Amino acid sequence: MTPPGTPSTDAARRHDPDARGFASDNYAGVHPEVLAAIALANGGHQPAYGADDYTAHLQEVFRRHFGPRAQTFPVFNGTGANVVALQALTDRWSAVVTAGSAHIHTDECGAPERVGGLKLLPVPAPGGRLTPDLVAREAWGFDDEHRARPQVVSLTQATELGTCYTPGEIRAVADFAHERGMTVHMDGSRLANAAASLGLPLAAFTTDAGVDVVSFGGTKNGLLMGEAVVVLDPEAVRGLPYLRKASMQLASKMRFVSVQFEALLAGDLWLRSARHANAMAARLAEGARAVPGVTILHPVQANGVFARMPRDAAERLQKRHRFYFWDEAAGDVRWMCAFDTTEEDVDTFVAALGEEMGR
């Protein structure tokens, strides 16, 4: 019998551990401090489905960042966090106003609508940021039975275009929404990057700015898996524990999700990792700007760089380094940095960019 803990003879590393690209911060591995925390939580038995000691302690960890009323519900992934949060904020006849570039609209395969049973009302948002005037384009017809009632405004921080809202911008949208009986959800898959960019604590542009519920991201900032729905105003939501289970987002061995967030948030790992990713994106943008023919499209405020370049050069560059086209028709590309991106990675990529643009 093979002793417990002995690696399987069939297991083998099937990738180059030194290879890194710029396709997504989801491509990165797990931060070593997070891996160590998972091992710490292993061994012995703990109650399942969130009744474990790690999940109980996690409530206090999140309250240090978001305030004493915060309630935290770990889930598996970002789409799940968004769907569960939006369901808890809406009625069956409701709608969510969001930016046209928002992840819930462009990258979740219609899950908020198909699984959540709600309607999205997207509006064009320059730089990915909504304003009260933009929200007003769809925040009307509250008593019209022929129209899905606008009930939630969903903001993304940092936005899908790598920009960040200021606390004042968020407060303006929140006040506009609350005055009309609406609530505010924030998709914070890169919330740590926004905090690092703004130089502010998490509560400053969430709880203190009037946000009701946050989908807090961990996977893009060094976790193995796991996000969290963080309720900032408990009176704004209904039935969230039941919705999490019905949406297939209740982990049985939740201690292994919760302990990752403790490793991330109990100290400064979340901020160290986000600052580093942001700094690498700034370095990449600076290098790319110096390459003739490359245009940086948006302010680089988080860990993403959006650029425009000739398609043939981009396709050649893709064969050397992984990244995605953002707008196929325009030739726009997206380059993402992660907690483990190095200066050498960036400089090698910029050199390759210059070579392909010079052909």
> Is there a cis peptide before residue 158, judged by omega within 30 degrees of 0?
yes
Query: The CATH number of the domain where 289 resides is what?
Result: 3.90.1150.10
The string of pLDDT tens digits covering residues 155-189 is 999 999 999 999 999 999 999 999 999 999 999 99
Q: Is residue 185 part of a domain?
A: yes
Same domain flag for 229 and 296 = no
Residue 223 has pLDDT above 70, yes or no: yes
The reply to whether 44 and 130 lie within a common domain is yes
Distance CA 131, CA 355 (A): 41
Q: Are 42 and 160 in a shared domain? A: yes
Q: How many domains does the chain have?
A: 2
Which of 265, 284, 299 represents a domain boundary (last residue)? 265
pLDDT band at residue 330, thresholds of 50, 70 and 90? confident
Q: Please, is 15 exposed, middle or buried when counting C-beta atoms within 10 Å of its C-beta (0-12, 13-18, 19+)?
A: exposed
Are 292 and 219 within one domain? no
Q: Which of 265, 282, 314 is the last residue of a domain?
A: 265
Question: 24 lies in a domain?
Answer: no
Q: Say whether 325 sits in a helix, a strand or coil.
A: strand
Based on the fold, state whether residues 209 and 83 are members of the same structural domain.
Answer: yes
Domain co-membership, 260 together with 274: no
Give the domain CATH number at 231: 3.40.640.10
Q: What percentage of residues in the chain have a pLDDT greater than 70?
A: 97
Do 308 and 223 lie in a common domain? Answer: no
Same domain, 227 and 336: no
The answer to whether position 105 is within a domain reads yes
Instruction: Please state the pTM of the whole predicted model.
Output: 0.95
For residue 116, give its domain range: 32-265
Question: 75 and 119: one domain?
Answer: yes
118 and 202 both lie in a single domain: yes
For residue 3, pLDDT beyond 70: no
**Alpha-helix runs per DSSP H in 139-239:** 167-179, 191-198
